[in-house]
Amino acid sequence: MLFEDIKKILTTPELIGYVFEGFLNTLVLTVVAAAIGLVLGFVVAIVKISAENNKYMKIPAIICNLYTTVFRGTPVALQLFIMVFAVFAIPGFKPYAAIITFGINSGAYVSENIRAGISSVDVGQMEAARALGFTWNRAMINIIMPQAIKNIIPAIGNEMIALLKETSIISMVGATVGTLTFDLNAASNTVFTKVPNFLASGLIVGCFYLAIVYIMVFAIKLIEKRLRASDKR
Amino acid sequence: MISVKNIYKSFGKLSVLNGISCDIKDGERVAIIGPSGSGKSTLLRCLNLLEVPTRGEIWVNGSLLSGLDPYLHPELIRLSATYKKRIAAGGSDKTVISEITDGRLLGRFEGGEYRREYRRLAEQNAIDINLARRKMGMVFQHFNLFNNKTVIENLTLVPVQLGLKTRAEAEARALELLRRIGLEDKRDEYPSKLSGGQKQRVAIIRALAMDPDVLLFDEPTSALDPEMVGEVLDLMKSLAGDGMTMVIVTHEMGFAREVADRIIFVDGGKIAEEGRPDEVFGSPKNARLREFLSKVL
Ligand SMILES: Nc1ncnc2c1ncn2[C@@H]1O[C@H](COP(=O)(O)OP(=O)(O)O)[C@@H](O)[C@H]1O
Ligand SMILES: [Mg+2]
């Protein structure tokens, strides 16, 4: 029964088409949200870190702290509802509002990963660089960042995996076939209406998620290995 | 020459330095001793502004490294509204100046004349801290070699990046220094492959590679295994022999006695006693110093 349902889904072009469409949309959602999250997270982390040293960054840092507190402190589903139905309640804008939400939410976590990675570097490294006459910026670029990145990359990798899975809640604000909102999870729900066996569609979609996550884990491992090779400590 | 003028430093409510003044002349070796927590490291770190004094001034070779402390400048105080008001009320110059200084009576708004003179004094004497630090080497208790750089990179990175030397010049100098400490075979190792004594000696020559006017040492041997203390002290003695100006926070009393021209005993954030090693060690006057010496000698 299960096997037959799986076979039916895989061999019916309409059904497997939904899955592929969802797969592509999940990838697009994740990649764009990740890009937003990484850029935002990096900027926020730099603002927060440089506020320790630069009084003009104090107020921006307070705003950044508010941002990370709010977006890490509330459920992403709630953020999604507010953004889609209140802040960006514009017809046809739903997929973009969702991407922006995922990106902003992820940025809050990324910024904390970067900040934690930087503060894990011994303060003596910065002091030694400054004592030799390096500016704060030069010390950051030449000494601190290359050491921090080893802690930052794995943490950000995990955040990206979490983001991928998080995009599945987009169906909560309504997924429409043919738009970006129709992600893998939505595809699973649609397939279920045609082949009412949740295990069958769930297993297939689950395999797609697993495949992406596996590729991401592999990529992170590869980068980590590269970083470690350049660091014969 | 470094001139420390009445500096105070507090961390929040904790006041660590409570009015320290001293001069370090070119070619002089000064050892700073004192109980742990007395503010020795803080004092040393104020010299190159790794810590910013809460009050007072640091001058290096005639340039003002720290902020300007108006209370050290009577001619500036005389331009202030507070001074003028008190003089008009019939105070004498001397008493008004000392009232203002002791009571720290200068406010935020002391008039245009005062503000202009303040800015003029500060601008005329100020030096870019990053430029000044190039000539003030610092050696840390925990070495602080750059972990992501090899030994040779540790020695050449800053001079090359700051455009002080070409890569070839910097490497030639680095190799000369490495030969001096007998570690030329470690040039391409990462710091983690070195022993504590080797790390500290590399940290010392990293400071030397900038051709500094003065070296500041913060307990350079305190984090070392006993058998490695000697090699670091020997290198420092040889620098002293070259006539390098050195300020050394240390618990090695024998070394301080042998190498220093002057000993500064810091207690409770103040200089409690200061003098030639034979005076300070031979006939200490301060009771706390006697107590301290009886424990460490
Ligand atoms: N960055 C800091 N923040 C807060 N307190 C500090 C800091 N640096 C030093 N202190 C405190 O200042 C006091 C003096 O410290 P320090 O100058 O390191 O003493 P010493 O080197 O003589 O042992 C200590 O009580 C220490 O805890
Ligand atoms: Mg100390």
pLDDT digits (tens, 9 = 90+) for A13-53: 999 999 999 999 999 999 999 999 999 999 999 999 989 87
Instruction: Enumerate the β-bridge partners of residue B11.
Output: B14
Tokens 């497997």 sit on residue = A16
Nearest to A132 among B143, B147, B158 (CB): B158
Nearest to B133 among A122, A130, A138 (CB): A130
Is ligand 1 within 6 A of the CB of residue B38? Answer: yes
Mutate to test the interface with A, among B44, B46, B146, B162 (most CBs of A within 10 A): B146
Give me B225's structure tokens: 């295994």
The mean pLDDT of chain A is 93
Q: Which ligand sits closest to the CA of B36?
A: 1
Distance CA A181, CA A22 (A): 9
Residues of chain B with pLDDT under 70: none
Question: Please, what is the Cα angle at B128 between B271 and B117, to 5 degrees?
Answer: 80
Question: Cα distance from A190 to chain B (closest Cα, Å)?
Answer: 52
**N- to C-terminal Cα separation, chain A:** 56
B163 contact A CB<8A: no
Is ligand 1 within 6 A of the CB of residue B36? Answer: yes
Distance CA B118, CA B124 (A): 10
Q: Number of helices and strands (H, E) in chain B? A: 13, 10
Q: Look at residue A232 and tell me whether its pLDDT is greater than 80.
A: no
Nearest CA to ligand 1 atom 12: B16
Counting Cβ atoms within 10 Å, is residue B20 exposed (0-12), middle (13-18) or buried (19+)?
Answer: buried
Residue B11 Cα to ligand 1 middle (Å): 8
Express each pLDDT in B250-285 by its tens digit. Answer: 999 999 999 999 999 999 999 999 999 999 999 999
Instruction: Tell me: ipTM over 0.90.
Output: yes
Nearest CA in chain B to A149: B148
Question: Cα distance from A141 to chain B (closest Cα, Å)?
Answer: 12
Q: What's the pTM?
A: 0.89
Express each pLDDT in A115-169 by its tens digit. Answer: 999 999 999 999 999 999 999 999 999 999 999 999 999 999 999 999 999 999 9
The residue ranking higher by pLDDT, A1 or A114, is: A114
Is ligand 1 within 6 A of the CB of residue B206? Answer: no
> With an 8 Å Cβ cutoff, are B206 and A132 in contact?
yes
B145 contact A CB<8A: yes
Nearest CA to ligand 1 atom 27: B37
Nearest CA in chain A to B193: A233
Is ligand 1 within 6 A of the CB of residue B13? Answer: no
Nearest CA to ligand 1 atom 5: B11
B206 contact A CB<8A: yes
Task: Give the pLDDT score at A231.
Answer: 61
Residue B31 CA neighbour count, 13 Å, CB half? 27
Task: Give the pLDDT score at A174.
Answer: 86
Distance CA A227, CA A97 (A): 36
Tokens 């045609």 sit on residue = A194
Express each pLDDT in A43-93 by its tens digit. Answer: 999 999 989 878 899 999 999 999 999 999 999 999 999 999 999 989 889
Task: Give the pLDDT score at A127.
Answer: 97
> With an 8 Å Cβ cutoff, are A147 and B144 in contact?
no
Express each pLDDT in A140-153 by its tens digit. Answer: 999 999 999 999 99
